[in-house]
Amino acid sequence: MTSKGVGLFDTAPPDLMGFGLGSSFNAKSVQSFLSLKKEDVSHIADVSPKSVRFDDAKPVPVRERLQEIANTINLMARFFWGDVDKTGTWFKTRNPLLGDISPRDMIRLGRFERLRKFIWLAMGDKVSLHG
């Protein structure tokens, strides 16, 4: 087994959570997985709450931001060997290393980039060991 580090230019992790990839990406499934309200998605994507929708006419920022979040969720799922329940629990449980806030709430509050950096630093080469 070879181990390669996860770098800045590596491709997205596999779709272990079933969110879909490319044109089959289902932004609504990410919203549902994290139990995000329409207002949360509005804040995350920096769009008006009235423009948040999940059909083919969804705003580009909503799609892009939720795809980034989906990739990060899939990265954690990879760490948990594809276990959807463990991945969900990790995102919804308060974490003392994150200031006693859950990863889900970090996303809701607009701290996704900080969360993503935390995950990348914490996982290091561990990500490639499970893939």
Domain range list for the chain? 22-130
Determine the pLDDT at residue 113.
94
Check: CB of residue 66 under 8 Å from CB of residue 58.
no
Mean pLDDT of the chain: 87
Question: Residue 131: which pLDDT band, with cuts at 50, 70 and 90?
Answer: very low
Q: What is the pLDDT of residues 11-65, one digit of tens each?
A: 556 899 999 998 899 999 999 999 999 999 999 999 999 999 999 899 999 999 9
Q: What is the pLDDT of residues 63-108, one digit of tens each?
A: 999 999 999 999 999 989 999 999 999 999 999 999 999 999 999 9
Place of tokens 């499970």: 130
d(CA 114, CA 94): 15
Determine the pLDDT at residue 126.
56
Question: Residue 124: which pLDDT band, with cuts at 50, 70 and 90?
Answer: confident
End-to-end CA distance of the chain: 10
